[in-house]
Structure formats: C-alpha cells, structure tokens
Amino acid sequence: MCPSEPGALPQATIALAFSALVNFIVAHFHLLPKPNPKAPIKPMSPRGTILQDGITFLVLGAAAAIMSFIERRPFSRYGIALKRALPDFLIGTLWGFFFLSMLVGTLWLTHSLAFDGIAIHGTTAYAYAAKWFAGFLFVGLTEEFLTRGYIQYTVSRGVAGIVRAMDAQNRHAHAWGFWVTAGIFSISLFMFLHIFNPGETFVGILQVGLVGAVFSFSLYRTGSLWWAIGFHAAWDWAQSYFYGTRDSGLIAVGHLFNSHPTGSPLLSGGVTGPEGSVFGIPTLLLVAVVIHFTLPRRAYFLTPDQTPPQPV
C-alpha cells in the first residue's frame, strides 16, 4: 500500500463498527430469529435473505462512502457507478439466467436432474418470484462489493504501486495489481466465505473460486460490478427459485418447480446443487469467453498517474 493511502484497514474498521451497531439493532428489535446451532438447517426465506444481505450491503456501502470522502475519490471508482449501470445489469441478468438454464438443461439431458412438477401457482408464484429477485439482488450486491468493490480497488492500487516502484517501466503493473488482488479476495476469500455452507463439496468450492475469477474478469474488462451483480442475482434466482434446485446445499422456500438430483453426485452436484456438478466448470469457462467477446474494454482506473489499458 502506498504510504499516503488510508488503505483498506480503516474501511474494515468502520465496517466492523457499523456491523456492531446493526447487530445490536437487529437483536434488540428481533428483526431476525436467533440462530440455533442444534436446530436442523432451515430453507432459505426471502425475508431473511433480504434483511441479512441488505443490511450487510448497507454497512459495506456506508463504510466505503466514508472512505471515499476521506480519500476525496468518487464512490463510483469502487465499481458502483451510475454510468451504464442499467444496461450492464440487465445484460448480466439475461446471461445469468441463460447459463444457469444451460447447466440445468445439461443435467436434465444427462439424467442427473429430475423434475417433479410445479410447486406453486398463480399470484403466489409471482409474489415469490419478486421477493426472491429482491433477495438475490442484495446477495449479488453484497458478495460482489465485499470481494470486488472497495477492497479490490484499494489493494490493487497498492500492489500496482509496488510493482512500479520495483520497475518503473513495467507496462503490466496495472494487470499485476488487479489480478494479484483478485486472487486474494475475489477468488480465495470468496471460496472461504462459501466453505461453511451446508452441503458444500470440493467441486462446489472449486467452482466458487472459478466464479470469482470470471466475475473479476468482467470487472477488469468494464471497470464496473453491474454486469456481475446482474449475472449473480439471475443465476441464484434461476437456481433457487425458478428450477427449485439447491444452492450451495440450501433450498429456497417458495420455489417454482420441484426437482431432485439423480445418479452420481459428481455429475448431478448432489446435495450441493448444480454448482457442485462438474458440468459447471465448462459452463463457467464459456461465460469467460462470452465476457471476452461481448463486454467492451473500458478503463479500470487505479491512480491518475497510472495509465489504464487502452481499448483494443
């Protein structure tokens, strides 16, 4: 980290302080049920997801906003810019639903997933569709900003600065800064955060790391998190609500279709869900190819004296 930079540690401190305050408010007003480690694992609910991830995102966003004021830097540098936010988000949403559907279709065609009919109908289905999209929107916002937002930008600048200090003529300092940081936070931290999910397997965790790399690639191409947020939200929505499969071992309340894995867990994903299937690996690699050919190369700014990559 450059000596003049406030860095990621103050942001983490502010976030922890906000978290302590929010936890007190949640506990005092009983906004969420108290966790019982001895109780059986309950299905995911839209309300719990919205509250938990919504509050977490507000805490992270508030801490980053304070740091952007201290650093006199636009908040948009952390990947949440208004410019092209809606088109990037909508395109990411379409791709997220498409690729999860392609993965589910592969499982169905290989007899690794079976459907048992529609679980809910009418207004109930529409209501849960809306609730779950709101819930997974907050999941996308929280997980993307946590691992690829402020901390990705700030640490990338520090690593790139170290590379330039060692070799002032290094033309790849920008890339070194970005991908070293992505390896630590967007991939390794992202994997660690999913280890404790019930039903996770080695293949599932491996794919979480691959997802982190793919989403980092979209950020590197565009300088924005919105494509990844849209993809993340739609992928989870399609997986948990629409097709009714497990998501990292968790099942959603109010899913549209009833389904269950069949055959080898290596192919079906077993209790993990489609993300635990080996078919997910080529699917995610194909997502990276789509990013390369469909997302324009924009600038991921680090510091004013570091020239961002030019359009290719």
204, 272 in Cβ contact below 8 A? yes
pLDDT at 307 over 50: no
CB 15 within 8 A of CB 63: yes
Strands (E), 216-276: 257-261
CA gap 28, 18 in Å, rounded:
15
Q: Which domain range does residue 52 map to?
A: 8-294
- Asked whether residue 3 is assigned to any structural domain, the reply reads no
Q: How far apart are CA 17 and CA 138, in angstroms?
A: 21
Beta bridge mates, 44: 252
Average pLDDT of the residues in 110-127:
95
Rounded to an integer, the average pLDDT of 35-50 is 72
Rounded CA gap, 201 and 279, in Å? 14
Of these ranges, 16-25, 26-35, 115-124, the one predicted with the greatest mean pLDDT is: 115-124
> Would you say residue 154 lies in a domain?
yes
Whether residue 303 has pLDDT greater than 60: no
Q: What distance in Å separates the CA atoms of residue 312 and residue 309, rounded to the nearest whole number?
A: 9
Q: Residue 284 domain-assigned?
A: yes
Count of domains for the chain: 1
For residue 198, the 8-state DSSP code is: T
Per-residue pLDDT reduced to its tens digit, 262-283: 999 999 999 889 999 999 999 9
On whether residue 299 sits in a domain, the answer given is: no
pLDDT at 25 over 60: no
Is position 311 within any domain?
A: no
Structural tokens at position 238: 């399609």
pLDDT of residue 302: 58
How many whole angstroms separate alpha carbon 311 and alpha carbon 303? 18
How far is the C-alpha of 223 from the C-alpha of 220, rounded, in Å?
A: 6
Residue 50 forms part of a structural domain: yes
228 neighbors 148 (Cβ within 8 angstroms) = yes
Task: Name the residue type at position 137.
Answer: L
Structural tokens at position 55: 């509050």
Asked if 121 and 288 count as a contact pair (C-beta separation under 8 A), the reply is no
- Cα atoms found within 13 Å of the Cα of residue 120, Cβ hemisphere only: 17
Q: E strand or H helix at 154, and its extent?
A: helix 150-166
DSSP state of 252: B
Residue 272 domain-assigned?
Answer: yes
In a domain, 302, yes or no: no
Query: Which letter does DSSP use for residue 119 in this model?
Result: -
